[in-house]
Structure 1
Amino acid sequence: MSTPSQAQSASQSASQPPSPSPSLYIYAITGSDHPLRLAGLRPVGGGSGGALRAVIGGPLACVVSPAPPDLRPKRRDLAAHQEVQERLMADGAVLPMRFGMLAPDDAAVTAALDGKRAEYLRRLEELHATAEFNLKAARSQDDLLREVLTESDDARRLNERTRDGGGSYADRVALGELVSHQLEARQRQLAEQVVGRLSGMARGNVVASPAGEDFLNASFLVERGRAEEFSRAARQLAQGYGEGYDFRLRGPLPPYSFVA
């Protein structure tokens, strides 16, 4: 199996025949006895080349459909990709593939399943009856800056010295560096605090680099029986932080962050 960028080299010489384009789009790996309620689901690419089906490799199965010739992360195809995975996930453990995973043919899929059979079976067992919840959080930069200037004597002194264009160039550089370090440290501490308060309700967690003004981007692997309890705890935690904070919880999701 390969990602789109791995599927075919653009640098093949003219003397070499081009390798065949991948013909299968990959959604997920699951057990061969897993229910496959695929009827009514739209494949990625619209299904003009064929329907969803499973390629069986011993105790494992891989759900595939014909690969569209112009695969792009369009909204409708992203939605179709996730809908297939959520339908499968409703009936048991799955290893969801990221959008864009391709394979040349059935033989390549069965070879991949055979080659990592023990690993895939172990991961399916670990992910049994679980789902992923992703939590992102941001804090008002103005509030955080006011906190730094209120609680840090050095920052407050430098800020007063450079107010209204006063102070030296070195003072302004020192203030900027101090505030930057303080903001980073406080955001890191906030992230650790939030993850620590929720991690006891999850089997595991993965913390990714936050983007933009977010200080947190964390995924939690939660037992399905505790999904509502986890959601409620996350909402209560967000309410406890009050205004100036923006928490966004998504889930239950296929456990993308816990497959590898």
Structure 2
Amino acid sequence: MEEVVKEGKYIYCIITTTVAKTFGSIGIGCRGDELYTICFQNIAAVVSNSPIIKYSISRENTLAHEKAIEEVMKEHTVLPVRFATIAEDEEKVKKILEKEYDRFVALLKDMKGKKELGLKAIFKEDVIYKYILEKYKDIERLKERVSALPPEKTYYQRMEIGKMVEAALQKEKEIHKKGILNTLSPLAVEVKNNNTYGELMIISAAFLVEKYREPEFDQKVNEYVNKYGNKINFKYVGTVPPFNFVNLIINTEEY
């Protein structure tokens, strides 16, 4: 006999509202479930119906989670809830809102009028090594000397050049990371430096910025891009859920 999977309430985020609202049939799981609010006093959880299952951390599922929160963000300050948080029913959601009311209200007040902006900067591979040779003359001179000798006699010298280039690259990354943070951090309320990946990535950072300062922040990013875009690729992302600054962990079984 096939086991019946119970239905629950998938929680996306917490918002401030006193009225019931819907946000479209964009619930996780590709069933076309409606996003709607479950209210308690002046706050609400945005939920959709969902089977009580363990969602895999696939691109499809995480994107559905993020897109749902982005839709709500068009009208509201949001407190994102951790991916795959499912309460057993509406009563459980209301209990969570009641118990965490003061904390949620304080966080909503703190996040009001702010947005997360993300910036990644990565050296262009075809440009940066040429730039390093031009800037670091000792590496260039050693490379020229070695290139005139038979390859079998220059193994250690080539190893040395590799180490020197690596050290120079690290130095350049630190220079630009510091430059970016010194330029943009004064315009942000909070900054989160995330892990970088690959030898060419300079920075992967999130900035919590007051909305009224966004044009100034944009301008500073554009100035940096115009100045260094010849050797650095920039990826600048705005209006994303503030996952780097709030990502509520709600253990539903505790309520």
Output the TM-score relative to the length of structure 1.
Answer: 0.75
1:208 counterpart = 2:194: yes
Q: Indicate the residue corresponding to 1:51 in structure 2.
A: 34
List aligned pairs for 1:67-146, cutoff 5 A. 67=50, 71=55, 73=58, 75=60, 80-114=64-98, 116-146=100-130
Cα deviation, 1:192-247, whole Å, max 9, x if unaligned, reads: 21122112222121121233443221111111222233223322321122422221
* Contact 1:227-1:252 at 8 Å conserved across structures: no
The amino acid across from 2:234 in the alignment is: F
Residue pair 1:37, 1:88 contacting (<8 A) in 2 also: no
Counterpart selection for 2:49 from 56, 59, 66 = 66
User: What is residue 9 of structure 1 aligned with on the other side?
Assistant: none
Residue 206 (structure 2) aligns with: 219
Change in 2 beyond 3 A, CA 1:31/1:39: closer
Matches of 1:189 and 1:209 in 2, distance apart?
17
Match of 1:191 in 2: 177
CA contact (8 A) 1:22 1:102 kept: no
Pick one of 9, 12, 25 that aligns with 1:27.
12
Give the 3-state SS of the residue equivalent to 1:222 in structure 2: strand
Structure 2 stretches lacking a partner, 5+ long = 248-255
Structure 1 residue corresponding to 2:231, chosen from 240, 244, 250: 244
1:97, distance to aligned residue in structure 2 (A): 2.9
SS at match of 2:170: helix
Compute the displacement of 1:129 (Å): 0.8
Distance in 2 between residues matched to 1:137 and 1:109, nearest whole Å: 40
**Aligned AA for 1:257?**
N
Any idea what SS the aligned residue of 2:28 has? coil
Report the CA distance shift for 1:236/1:153 in structure 2 as closer, same or farther (over 3 A): closer
Aligned residue number for residue 11 of structure 1: none
* Shift of residue 44, structure 1, vs aligned partner: 2.2
**Residues 7, 49 of structure 2: 8 Å contact kept:** no
1:40 and 2:17 are equivalent in the alignment: no
Amino acid in structure 2 at the alignment position of 1:253 = V
Q: For 1:209 and 1:252, how far apart are their aligned partners in 2?
A: 21
Q: How far, CA to CA, are the matches of 1:183 and 1:21 in structure 2?
A: 54
- What SS class does the counterpart of residue 37 from structure 2 fall into? strand
Cα pair 2:183 2:220 within 8 Å, conserved: no
> How many angstroms does 1:120 deviate by?
2.9
Q: RMSD in angstroms over aligned alpha carbons?
A: 3.1
Contact persistence 2:11–2:46 (CA under 8 A): yes
TM-score (norm 2): 0.77
Hey, what does 1:235 align to over in structure 2?
222
CA contact (8 A) 2:20 2:38 kept: no
Q: 1:253 aligns with which of 229, 240, 249?
A: 240
Determine the C-alpha separation between the residues in 1 that align with 2:246 and 2:55.
23
SS of 1:62's partner is strand
Distance 1:128 1:87 in 2: 17
* Gap runs ≥5 in structure 1: 1-17
Contact residue 53 and residue 63 of structure 1 kept, 8 A: yes
Q: How far off its partner does 1:70 sit? A: 8.5
Identity %: 26
Amino acid at match of 2:244: S
Does the 8 Å contact 2:54/2:84 carry over to 1?
no
Aligned-partner residue type, residue 131 of structure 1: K
Structure 2 SS opposite 1:256:
coil
